[in-house]
């Protein structure tokens, strides 16, 4: 299952169930799980620990050292879960010691052609990075979030769970969970990602509660502090609203709201 033109370091761990195609390079410190497929011309550097059933398309570069001028060859890591799809020319960098040492990719993640994930990022389960998405260092993309094509995301930003960022949108602040963010002229939050939530099985009542919370946050003419106080005063609205409130409270860069 290993093509004769592929080069594997003797220290790499590659199970017999893996397929390694033409002209792939697997370096020292790389550990692959069962049933991974490297189609061709894939480069994986270590230390990288990669789970099972992952597919890597041509010319992607995985576990390459971080693009950080302070990096001096320290041992840092890339961690990847299971059932991920990494398309053509994607670059995934290892972490830095000052950022915790590791870049982490979850499970069932799709990272499409020419996308970049910088050092010390965390990409949650079922997230999608569409073609050319550029994620700077120390960014967290939470579960089920979609980062649209050609979107640059600033360092230390958080992309909330189940959110959707339209193509070409520049992200410099945190994106609210469940939100749609897009740039026609200004980067703004334009309501709820209701179609995405319906596709993921959210009930109408669950979506209604989130929609109400967004109305309070975006359309009630209350500032963020006042809006959070109002939502808390309304009583227990469920785990979705609790997550939304917690996300805003923990934001260090502020969140994108309506202009």
Q: How confident is the model at residue 155 (pLDDT cuts 50, 70, 90)?
A: very high
Q: Which tokens in the block code for residue 45?
A: 């550097």
The CATH number, out of the four listed (3.30.565.10, 1.20.1180.10, 3.40.350.10, 1.10.10.60), of the domain defined by the range 196-249: 1.20.1180.10
Active site residue: 119, 126, 138, 162, which one?
A: 119
Q: How confident is the model at residue 136 (pLDDT cuts 50, 70, 90)?
A: very high
For range 6-15, the mean pLDDT: 97
Is 11 a residue of the active site? no
Q: How confident is the model at residue 191 (pLDDT cuts 50, 70, 90)?
A: confident
pLDDT of residue 52: 98
Is 119 a residue of the active site? yes
Q: Across 118-127, 193-202, 237-246, 250-259, which has the greatest mean pLDDT? A: 118-127
Is 236 a residue of the active site? no
When comparing pLDDT for 213 and 183, which is higher? Answer: 213
Side by side, the strands of the sheet bearing 43-44 are 7-8, 25-26, 43-44, 61-64, 91-93, 116-117, 134-135, 152-153
Using an 8 Å Cβ cutoff, are 84 and 28 in contact? no
pLDDT of residue 8: 97
Cα dihedral 216→222→225→227 (10° resolution): -20
Residue 185 reports pLDDT greater than 70: no
CB atoms within 10 A of CB 43: 19
Task: Answer yes or no: CATH 3.20.20.410 is held by domain 7-141.
Answer: no
pLDDT of residue 237: 81
Using an 8 Å Cβ cutoff, are 71 and 65 in contact? yes
Residue 160 reports pLDDT greater than 70: yes
Domains 7-141 and 196-249 share a fold: no
What gap in Å lies between CA 171 and CA 186, rounded to an integer? 11
Active site residue: 95, 137, 148, 160, which one?
A: 137
Residue 184 reports pLDDT greater than 70: no
Residues across the chain: 259
Least confident among 39-48, 167-176, 230-239: 230-239
pLDDT tens readout for residues 46-76: 999 999 999 999 999 999 999 999 999 999 9
- Residue ranges of domains in the chain: 7-141, 196-249
Using an 8 Å Cβ cutoff, are 204 and 185 in contact? no
> Over the chain, what is the mean pLDDT?
94
Active site residue: 120, 126, 148, 240, which one?
A: 120
Residue of 93, 89, 112 lying closest to 41 (CA atoms): 89
State CA 32 to chain mean position distance: 21
Q: Which tokens in the block code for residue 71?
A: 């990096």
pLDDT of residue 220: 83
pLDDT of residue 186: 65
């Amino acid at each position: 299952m290993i093509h004769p033109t592929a080069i594997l370091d003797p220290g790499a761990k590659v199970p017999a169930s893996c397929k390694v195609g033409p002209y792939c390079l697997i370096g020292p410190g790389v550990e692959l799980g069962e049933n991974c497929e490297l189609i061709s011309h894939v480069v994986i550097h270590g230390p990288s620990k990669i789970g099972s059933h992952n597919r890597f398309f041509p010319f992607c570069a995985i576990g390459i050292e971080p693009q950080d001028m302070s990096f001096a060859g320290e041992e840092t890591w890339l961690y990847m879960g299971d059932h991920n799809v990494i398309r053509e020319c994607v670059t995934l960098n290892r972490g830095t010691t000052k950022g915790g040492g590791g870049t982490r990719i979850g499970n069932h993640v799709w990272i499409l052609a020419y996308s970049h994930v910088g050092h010390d990022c965390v990409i949650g389960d079922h997230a999608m990075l569409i073609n050319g998405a550029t994620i700077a260092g120390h960014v967290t993309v939470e579960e089920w979030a979609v980062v649209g094509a050609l979107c640059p995301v600033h360092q230390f930003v958080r992309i909330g769970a189940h959110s959707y960022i339209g193509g070409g949108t520049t992200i410099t602040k945190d994106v609210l969970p469940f939100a749609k963010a897009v740039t026609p002229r200004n980067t703004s939050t334009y309501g709820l990602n209701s179609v995405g939530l319906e596709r993921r099985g959210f009930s109408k009542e669950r979506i209604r509660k989130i929609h109400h919370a967004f109305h309070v946050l975006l359309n009630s003419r209350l500032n963020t502090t006042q809006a959070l106080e109002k939502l808390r005063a309304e009583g227990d609205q469920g785990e979705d609203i609790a997550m939304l409130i917690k996300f805003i409270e923990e934001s260090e860069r502020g969140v994108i709201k309506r202009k």
